[in-house]
Structure 1
Amino acid sequence: MQDAKEVLAQLREEIWGLRRSVSRLDGEIPEADVLLRVMDSVDDVINVIAASDAEVSPEAIESFVATVDASLTRPAFNGGKMLDAARQGQVLRQGLRSAISALVYSLDLTRGRDLANDLLQRRTRIDVAEEVEALIDRERARNEDVHIETAGILREVRALSAATQTQAEEARSANTEAQRAAGKIGAGSLAAAFSQYAQEHLRTANRFRNATIALLSISAIAALVLVLGVEPDWTVREGREQWEQAAYRLALIAALVGLAGYLGRQAGNHRRLGEWGHSISIQLRNFGSFIERLDNETRHEAYLSFARRVLGASPDASRVDPTAAQPLVDLIAKR
């Protein structure tokens, strides 16, 4: 059997662990203040016993520890229905009063009244004075039925605390899921914006391409007319005037070709931007599902890399890296 001091130390560790858990949930549990006061009361009892120089019956300590420990396993029911938070708090106070009273009485039987009176004078944060005085005056054997009933009540109280913590965790989980859903909606909106951006640039690229084809066709026809000498009657000239007319036509053809080249470059620029926007749109729609099963560290690095790609500068007119997404793919593949 363990030493009484060791048993008390173990009980104190458990009480303070539970107290920290309830403190973190303060504001989310209606009866959190009641739970904290009750646990402070148990701590008061432990302090009084631990500070006493007298020998304490290990059986009495273990009986008290068992009733307190059992208090944290099952919610209280009445007629098959779980009691509400306020009623659970009342059950908790009543159960702990009975547990402390039983401890004081057992100490009174094993060592006399000194330690029991010390407990009474300390008057812990729940009112146990009447129960303690009655037990000291009676000096009778413990009622096992009372112990069984007390243990059941305290088990129910602990279950209430556990159920409340579970509900708080479920609320946090629901909040996380809501944030995740909001992220998916945001990614979908951004993907739609990039898709529209891509369509606009691709339409503009097609217009520039059509204009380029038209100008090149006109330039080719004009060049054939000049080279083959096929020309309308009004263009026929003699001598110097004929050479001047030829130079004028060559300059006109060169201008048309130059304009066609400019329009072709613009078509290429807009097409690259359109393809880039289309690629980003597809990646935004599938990125979340692609990295969902990765560990947190890898997912964080992947998000950073993808954010640089999406939020960075668009590809310039002269240079586009077709493998811009490859480092991201390599990072995920390594994991």
Structure 2
Amino acid sequence: MLNDPIRLVLTDESDSKDIWRHGSASAFRLNCEFSPGAPAGGSVDAWNLGRLDILDGRFAHLSLAPLADRGDTWLYLKLVTQGAMHIEQGRQARRIGPGEIVLVESSRPYRQSFDEPTGLIALRFPASALKERGLRHDLRNFITPDMSTADARAIGDLVASIAAQRGATSANMRCRQGDQLLDLIDLLIDDPAALMRARSGDATLFRAKRFIAQNLRSPDLTVSLIASAVCVSDTHLSRLFRAEGESVMRYVWESRLVLAADILKRNDKGRVQISDIAYRCGFSTASHFSRAFRERYGVSPREALAADGCEAATWFGAAGTHI
């Protein structure tokens, strides 16, 4: 993944093409070949969205192909915003026009060519990011979603909207945007077995924990509610959590206490009520919250709130909490 934003620009300078080739290879693992014509004016801006990289580029009179890489397999979502891109993989070949999307996997050789000035937004992410979600991640050939559907158009609009922000949002915001995009990828992949794969144990646990994190503040969070949200039985969900050495509700309470510890550590002393933290973390009463917190960390919430940074880090670190 990209650690820092990257910008490449093609100019009329004599060494511009060499700089572009080097940047394409080192940053994106892509081999660039120029064709007759004037590629000057081409540009690439790229930045990180958590587990994804996003690229906003302008290309003309060149082609790109993935370099051989023994590392992680990458998947790409490419949205053409203007002009056209020609893509070839195996026996498939297609022209991708404005508003169209193509998904392609780097482990199988492919080539994308730009014979005219073309705008392209691309997402790059490891195949493992889909695998752990129980989603299809081993594309045999490139996929072109049906852009006449409202879902596909909405995803395209979302990708374009995030690209327009140019990476100006916070790292936390970009990470959440990346997770949201990963969760939507399966809507673009036509795979009738996707729902069956999505019910694999690891994927079910992933979705259950995500649902818990999203609803942690609700006091009505129960095993039945969580199981229903991920489309499995209470018994099956409990079995999956037991395989990790804990019960569903123990995981819920532990997550709530971690959230509470984080709030206490980050809030200004005297500006927050313990009862407010209790309710924000899904506890029905402040007394229940205080008992559970003391049992977990060995101090009361009020003592933790009054502690200085080093003392708090010692308490929370000793209890195995990462905040």
Q: Same fold (TM over 0.5)?
A: no
Q: TM-score, normalised on structure 2?
A: 0.25
Q: TM-score, normalised on structure 1?
A: 0.25
Greater relative contact order (CA < 8 Å, ≥ 6 in sequence) = 1
Q: Which has the larger radius of gyration?
A: 1
Greater fraction of residues in strand: 2
